[in-house]
Amino acid sequence: MFLDKVLRNSFFFLMILIHINCTNQKQQCLKGAETKGGEKYQDSQSACTVYLALTESAKISEEQGKSSFTARFLANEALAICLLKVVEESKCKSKSEYVPHFGY
């Protein structure tokens, strides 16, 4: 009787712990993809948006006769990170949203 209560309580506690620390495979993969290429940009969309904005800024600078070196340099960096994050995020598309991945 006492052992049944202990086992039942232990099982209940274990299920709560698993639920708290459990993510699915896709979430875990996307979390890992965020750190690839540095943490300057959270995802590919933000890196690609920055690339487009800096490219336009460089074009405007060139039209005004100003140096566009800095904007071009930062745009090229954003493009490289954008492409890296797109590749990493595309790897996550095949991951399951239903199979759990226990956090670590």
Domain residues for 72?
2-102
Helices (H), the chain: 2-21, 25-35, 44-63, 69-92
Q: How do residues 4-62 score in pLDDT, each as one tens digit?
A: 777 777 766 655 555 555 677 888 888 888 887 777 788 889 999 999 999 999 999 99
Query: pLDDT tens across 63-79, in order?
Result: 999 999 999 999 999 99
Cα→Cα distances 51→30, 39, 71, 78, 79, Å = 21, 16, 9, 5, 6
53 or 92, greater pLDDT: 53
Residue 34: the pLDDT is 82
Total number of domains in the chain: 1
Q: What is the pLDDT of residue 21?
A: 55
Q: Residue 90 in contact with residue 14, Cβ under 8 Å?
A: no
Indicate whether this model's pTM tops 0.95.
Answer: no
d(CA 92, CA 39): 18
- Alpha-carbon distance 38 to 46, whole Å? 13
